[in-house]
């Protein structure tokens, strides 16, 4: 759970990169996609800090029965997300290589017996 909390802002940015959402949609998406529940007392302060830092922006949607604050990712938020994805990918590759799950052979990438994501039919 601690790791998830540490990545929560990045997960929220990922959701918002796909489409603008209001707070309850974010809470529901977290539960649906990850099986964890972060309530309003966690999500709304996080959204506030992310907005203060310029990673997301919000506006009030007054078109429905009740007003909802809708959040969207900013270009600065997309930049942070892209940079973080690259860093996490690099960390994962280094860990996987260290554990012997990934190996490089010329231009081919082998992961758990798959070469470039496909079964090696020529393998003995």
- Read off the pLDDT of residues 56-78 as tens digits, 9 standing for 90 and up: 999 999 998 889 999 999 999 99
The CATH number of domain 2-73, selected from 3.60.10.10, 3.30.70.980, 1.10.357.10, 1.10.10.10: 1.10.10.10
Residue 39 region by backbone torsions, left for phi larger than 0, else alpha for psi between -120 and 50, else beta: beta
Q: List, by residue range, all CATH 1.10.10.10 domains of the chain.
A: 2-73
Residues 6+ apart with CB under 8 A from 102: 93, 96, 109, 110, 111
pLDDT at 119: 47
Q: Average pLDDT over the chain, rounded to whole? A: 82
Q: Is the pLDDT of residue 86 over 60?
A: yes
Please write the tens of the pLDDT for every residue from 16-40. Answer: 999 999 999 999 999 999 898 999 9
pLDDT at 4: 64
């Amino acid at each position: 759970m601690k790791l998830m909390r540490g990545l929560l802002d990045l997960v929220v940015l990922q959701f918002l990169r796909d489409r603008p959402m209001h707070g309850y949609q974010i809470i529901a998406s977290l539960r649906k996609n990850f099986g964890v529940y972060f309530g309003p007392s966690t999500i709304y302060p996080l959204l506030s800090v992310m907005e203060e830092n310029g990673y997301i922006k919000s506006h009030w949607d007054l078109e429905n029965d009740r007003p909802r604050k809708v959040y969207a990712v900013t270009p600065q938020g997309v930049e942070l997300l892209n940079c973080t994805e690259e860093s996490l990918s690099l960390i994962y590759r280094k860990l996987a290589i260290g554990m012997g799950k990934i190996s490089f052979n010329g231009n081919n990438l082998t992961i758990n017996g798959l070469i470039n994501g496909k079964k090696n039919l020529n393998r003995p």
